[in-house]
Structures are given as structure tokens and as C-alpha cells.
Chains A and B, each alone.
Chain A
Amino acid sequence: MNSLEFSSLYQLTMARFRLFLREPEAIFWIFVFPILLAVGLGIAFRNRPPDVLPVAATTMQLTQALNTDKSLSAVTMDEAAGFHKLATGDILLLVVQTPNGVTYQFDDTNPDARTARLLADHAVQAAEGQHNAVPVDNKLVHEKGARYIDFVVPGLLGMNLMGSAIWGLGFAIVDARQKNLLKRLVASPMPRWQYLMSFLLSRLVMLVVEVVAFLGFAWLVFGVPFRGSILELAFLCVLISMSFSGLGLLVASRARTTEGVSGLMNVVMLPMWILSGVFFSASRFPAIIQPFVRILPLTAANDALRANMLQGTAITHLIAPVVVLLVWLTIPFAISLRIFRWR
């Protein structure tokens, strides 16, 4: 303990730690906010039992036929009333008896309406005695890992690792510069590398708490799967956090005011919030911008985290995202060490 007391690296890291823990807002944004977000998204996109589709028919006989399918809920009404209900979205499909047979009225751009059309047609034909040519049997699969919450948890983890690293370094360093504290520190015999290292060390400790709390919550409450190696997942988290720390350092290396650096951090993070597949797959963006999307560190982070957690992919098959992250780790660090403004 005594030798630690006189270790400047230890004292610097402890100071970082104390400053972080005494900042309630930071605790909220880093620990509480991602969990709240996961809860919100988990509730909004929870898997519901298959919907019963509301339909209508113009004759009692047709209505009866439709109601034999448990996925349909049919009522009888005349064509005018039915058309009105269709237009207001109260029903998805109107089955009209015509002299020649039946007419289906529905909106073919609505997937639910198309489903209703298929189910209704099957029910109507079956009522008239049509039989399946091939005997069929349904076996229902509700697999964990294929739900939206499973998709979004690794994305939220990546986003949180980005935010905490960039904010943690960027804001604190520029704040110290603005308050003349950086200048005071370099006026002392403090080794400069230790100042920056203290940020990385405290980040590593905080990272454990942050990741374990968030993933533990996702596992306990939503049963999000962990199919890959936990050790490799830990390695990925460290790599991701260090890459974003490099970016945070770069963002903070010249800015003189906290207002200035806040703007810079948003410029850096906003494109990744949108493009890097946090809430929906990054592959939805047009092919022309895919090369750009792929080299963003958050895209690499999210891809690697999802592959590990959801597919159980070994790190040896994640070379591409790991290399992208390593490049993002080294280049910003190297640049910022050269251009860093110490006063």
C-alpha cells in the first residue's frame, strides 16, 4: 500500500476514479441509461402471440367458413359498410360474394392484408371441399437469439462502449485543459504518458462494471443468449473500448473548451449512431455507402459483438472487424500523441 501511495500512476488513476464516481450524471449515462433503453426496446418489440387478423364477409356462410381458421376473426356486413371499415383500417380484408364466386378486397402493400388474403382463400376453398394434396404438419419454433431484443442488445453495448470511452476521455481532458490543470500538471514532474494511461486504466476498470451490469441485466431479464466464448467477448469489449478511447483522445487533443469538444464528439458519434447498425442492420443502407459504413469502428464493434453473442462465432473468424478496430486503436492514438496540446 505504501509503495502504491507514492506511485503517480496509481494516484492519477485513483483521482480519475474518484472524479467519475462523484459525478452522478456520468453514472446515469453510463450505467443506468443503457439498461433503461434495453427495457424500453424490450417492451416495445416484445414477441407477441400471433395476431388474429380482423376480416369481414358479405354472407353468413362465408363468415362461418372464415372463422374456421383461428388466425382470422370474421364478421358479416354489407359491401358498403365493409368498404368503409376497410378504408379506416378496422378490417384487413373484405370477402364479397359475387355471382361467379368471391372477390377479395384488400391493400396488397400491407403484409398483414396479404396474409389475411391467403388464409381467407384457404378457408373458403376448404369450406367448398378442397383438400390438401400433400399432408402437412406444423412444428412451432420460438428460438432465443432471433428476437429483436437479441439483435439490439449487442448494438446497445457497442454504442455504450463508444459513448463512455469518447465522453470519458474527451470531456475530462478538455475540462482539465480549460481549467489550466493540464498546464499545472506538466509544470510538475508528472510523466505525461502516465496522465493518459490513467484514463485508460480507469476506463478498463469501469468497463468491467459497465459491461457486466448491462449484459447481466440483458441475460437475466431478456434471456439474451451468449453463444460465443465469454473470454473472447471480454477481449472484444476491451478492444472496442480502447479503440474508442483513442478516438476520444484524438477529439480531445486540441480543443480548448468543453463546448468545443462536445460539438466535436457529436460530429464523430452521430454518423455512427445512425449508420453502424445499433437499432437496425447496417446492411439496409445502399451498397454505394457500404464501404464507408463497414470501416466505421462502431460497425465493426457491433458486427463482432453480434457474431460472438448470437452466432457463437470464434474470434479467428472475426478478423475483419478486429483489424478495423485495431487500426482505429493505433492511428488516432499515434496522431493525438503528436498533436496533443498540453496547455
Chain B
Amino acid sequence: MADRDANIATISAPTQSYPPAPSPHLKQRLGPSLLLKGVRKAFADVVAVDGLDLQVNRGECFGLLGPNGAGKTTTIEICEGLTAPDDGLVELLGMNWRSNEKELRQRIGIQLQETRFPEKLTVNETLRLFRSFFKRGISVDESIRTAQLEDKRRSRIAGLSGGQKQRLAMACALVGDPELLFLDEPTTGLDPQARRHLWDLIDNLKRAGRTIILTTHYMDEAERLCNRVAIMDHGKIIAMGTPQELIASVGGEHIVEFAIVANGSGNAPVDLTSLTELPDVHAYRVDAGLHQFSVRELHKAVPSIFDALNGMGLQLSEFRTHSATLDDVFLRLTGRNLRDE
């Protein structure tokens, strides 16, 4: 148990209280749920995963984050035993794919990035099929409840919305009551409402103490759901930690953005680099006339920024602040915007 407590201490998600694992089998083995060491995979001449080390602890919701083509899906499929790595160690629940495939398949749940289930089967029929593959698990009814598909139980899959199909895929991953759940881009292509719906479901699964590993290229999704995230780029992990740690690591937890009213002297760009000398104000960049500063403490930084602007005789046309996000982290680390890809 000492091991476990130590893990919890390092996760430290401030807004999320840590629930105890509910069912006894989750506690059977201690040690990490997932362990990768030096994992490599190349396709033809493209190195998709380049020496990855990763440890995911029990009960954790871990996010693999990165732009398309960063190697997230290859990594998760190596973990799922669907792709064999060229090199490295892969251990799930203390077992490996070579010698324990049968048992591992019984104990993990998988949602692939894109699965089109047979359109002419109903939700209920599909889940009965998947339930029959597992020796133990939850009932089909319970999986339908969990995925909130009660009204669609007798509908054919062809008649489901994108969000409902995604929740069905989630239900198929859950019928075996898995200890470890893999979700590959669970909300890609969904509308905002369906995404939020799916996030609520994942929240419930986290509360039930399941270990979840998900990939996403939405930074807000990772921030919202994950206890810990690894940011991937070009097959490598370029940063890892809690979202808060990562945001803090780039200096400043808030972003102040404003625009200046153009004065008589035309539209000459104003250089405000000097403002970074103010206490609590860190990085500065200007993007399309919008001046952006990262600041640590808003209540101290904002008044001093206002004072400095007044002193320079500049007038604000726009002013807003937002908490720094993982998008800001990715931008700072790679110089690229995630959503540009």
C-alpha cells in the first residue's frame, strides 16, 4: 500500500479527490498498471515511436497528448498488444503480451480510434456479442446504463449519432469490467455537446477507480480529464507531469491578452518587451496585434500592467485574461500550434 500512497502523492490533482478502488480485484497486484521502457517502433523508414519510457499508476487517468502523427496511436496500440514494438519492454498489470495474452485480453478494455460496428446490429445485440467474449464482467444492461444509451438499446447502429456510436464503443470496452481502459481519441470528430457528455462518462469511470489511458489532440480534454499527461511530438515524450505542473513549468499560470488603440502616429507596432521586467510578468509575445503575457498572479500583475500602459500613454481597446492551458505549453515547447496540424 505504501507504493500506492506514494503514487497518489505524486499525482496531486487539486480539484479531484482521489477515490478508493472499489472492487477487490483492482488491488490484487500492486505496482504500475502500465510500464513502458525504451519502446521503439519504426514503419518502413518512419520512426513512429522513438524510445518511450512511461509508467501509469493504478487508478490514474493518464493522457497521451500530441498533434496528429506524433505517435500516440502507435504507442497505445503497442500497449494494447495490437502492434509489436521493434524494441523495448511493455508490461501491463505486471504481465507481458508474449506470455499472458489471454489473461490480459480478459482484463483490459479497448476503444480503438475508429471502429465501425455492423450497422444492422442493434446496440443491445452488439453489447451481448462483446459481453460473450469475457469470462466475467458487468451485465449488458449495466453497460448500456453506464454509456447512457438506454433509449437506443433497440436501435440499429446505423441510426446512432456520432456521440452515441462513440459511447457504444466505450460500452464495448467496459462490458468486461476492465482494470485498465484504453481510449484512443474518444472525442475526435464529436460536436461540443457530445464531447462534454463523453467527458462526464469518463469522469464517472475515474470516480469508480479505473485506470484509464487516453490519447487526444485536444489540450482542453487532457486538462479536464487527466491526472497526468505526457506530451508527445515526433515519437518522443517532450514533457510529462500533471497539467498544473506542465503549465507552471512554462512560467505563469495565467495569460493576459490586450490590444492597443492605434494613435495618431499610424499603426506602428508597439514594443512592450519592457513590461516583462515587471514583477510576476514573464513571457511576452505578440500575435496579430494582440499582446500576450504570461503572469503568475493576476491580482498583482494586472494593476502594474495598467500603470505601465498609462505611463506610456497607451489606451486599451481590448483586455482579457485566461488561465494558461496545455495549448500554451505545447506552443512554448515546440513553437508550433497544436491545432495548426
Contacts and interface: CB of A to CB of B under 8 A. Distances in A.
Contact of A23 (B80, B105, B120, B132): B120
Interface string A4-43: 0111101110110011001100000000000000000000
B116 A180 contact: yes
Nearest 10 Cβ contacts at the A-B interface = A179-B116, A189-B105, A11-B132, A22-B120, A8-B132, A184-B115, A187-B110, A190-B133, A11-B129, A188-B133
A323 interface: no
A343 interface: yes
Interface string A174-210: 0010011101101111100000000000000000000
Contact of A188 (B110, B114, B120, B128): B110
Interface string B102-124: 10011000101011111011000
Contacts of A176: 118
Interface residues of B, number: 26
A180 B132 contact: no
Contact of B82 (A11, A22, A189, A343): A343
24 contacts: A5-B128, A5-B132, A6-B132, A7-B132, A11-B128, A11-B129, A12-B129, A15-B121, A15-B125, A18-B121, A18-B125, A19-B118, A23-B120, A179-B116, A181-B115, A183-B115, A184-B115, A184-B117, A187-B80, A188-B105, A188-B172, A188-B176, A189-B135, A189-B176
Contact of B116 (A15, A19, A181, A190): A181
Given A18-B120, A18-B121, A22-B120, A184 B112 contact: yes
A276 to B, nearest CB: 33
Given A15-B121, A189-B105, A179 B128 contact: no
B72 interface: no
Interface in B15-45: none
A189 B121 contact: no
Nearest to A6: B132
A291 to B, nearest CB: 43
B128 A19 contact: no
B218 interface: no
Nearest to A342: B82
A183 B82 contact: yes
A187 B108 CA distance: 9
B131 interface: yes
Contact of B117 (A8, A10, A181, A188): A181
B134 interface: yes
A184 B115 CA distance: 7
B103 to A, nearest CB: 9
Contact of B106 (A8, A19, A186, A189): A189
Contacts of A189: 102, 105-106, 133-135, 176
Nearest to A16: B118
A188 B115 contact: no
Interface in B118-168: 118, 120-121, 125, 128-135
Interface string A142-158: 00000000000000000
Interface string B174-198: 0010000000000000000000000
A12 B125 CA distance: 10
Contacts of A14: 125
Nearest to B105: A189
Interface in B68-107: 80-82, 102, 105-106
B6 to A, nearest CB: 32
B133 A183 contact: no
Contacts of A6: 131-132
A183 B121 contact: no
